[in-house]
Structure 1
């Protein structure tokens, strides 16, 4: 509902939001079913300045990039830290860094909460191998309802 709530302050604005959020905030719906692919799934996130407490079924999201010259095995070396501690990586996505042509930032989701000493340790080891490193946070893992 937060994107739709931003519309309530009367400034010209628009939001892509759920129907329920529009109903709760009284926002005007300008268009429905805007996906360009029938199988498209839109996920909405809530941001906070703190981690959610551990639930036992959590994910941690982080990103990293390299400042050194690209070489074979650079990415594998960082990701090996996850395998070494049997931590499951559930997402790996690369995005151009925009700093240098051919340089990428990697977005990663792993199972576990960063307050777990094992997760905290592997994050420290990955950070030590990378020039850019940022943990976005830990949060309960969303699962499809049965």
Structure 2
């Protein structure tokens, strides 16, 4: 890719930073992540951190299987972006093989 991003290899992972915003509504995180299940994108990691924007506001670092350019992943990310108060696609890259 001309922007320096890794091309899809077929064995990729994508990392996101998202937030549901300042809410204590039951199921808010579930509703945010529902597009991953609907589009059959596997979440491999989720980690929460305080956002420092407001008290009790958290951001989530999320890894999913697949490349952001793959159609099913792109559809899931587009839907997730519409639901999130904060959405950053940090990148797609080849998965490490152990």
- Is the pair's TM-score, using the shorter chain for normalization, greater than 0.5? yes
Give the Å deviation of 1:68: 4.9
> Residue in 1 aligned with 2:4?
50
Alignment size in residue pairs: 96
Matching of residues 123-134 of structure 1 within 5 Å: 123-134=77-88
Gaps of 5+ in 1: 1-48
The alignment's TM-score, normalised by the length of structure 1, stands at 0.62
The alignment's TM-score, normalised by the length of structure 2, stands at 0.91
> Residue in 2 aligned with 1:98?
52
RMSD between superposed Cα atoms in Å: 1.2
**Computing the radius of gyration over CA atoms, which structure comes out larger, 1 or 2?**
1
> Residue in 2 aligned with 1:121?
75
Gaps of 5+ in 2: none
* Counterpart-to-counterpart distance in 1, 2:4 and 2:91: 8
Give the Å deviation of 1:70: 2.5
Matching of residues 32-43 of structure 1 within 5 Å: none
Q: Larger % of strand: which?
A: 2
Task: Work out whether residues 13 and 93 of structure 2, in 8 Å CA contact, stay in contact via their aligned partners in 1.
Answer: yes
Structure 2 counterpart SS, 1:135: strand
Q: Which runs of 4+ in 1 moved over 6 A?
A: none
> Residue in 2 aligned with 1:82?
36
* Counterpart-to-counterpart distance in 2, 1:120 and 1:113: 8
Task: Work out whether residues 50 and 137 of structure 1, in 8 Å CA contact, stay in contact via their aligned partners in 2.
Answer: no
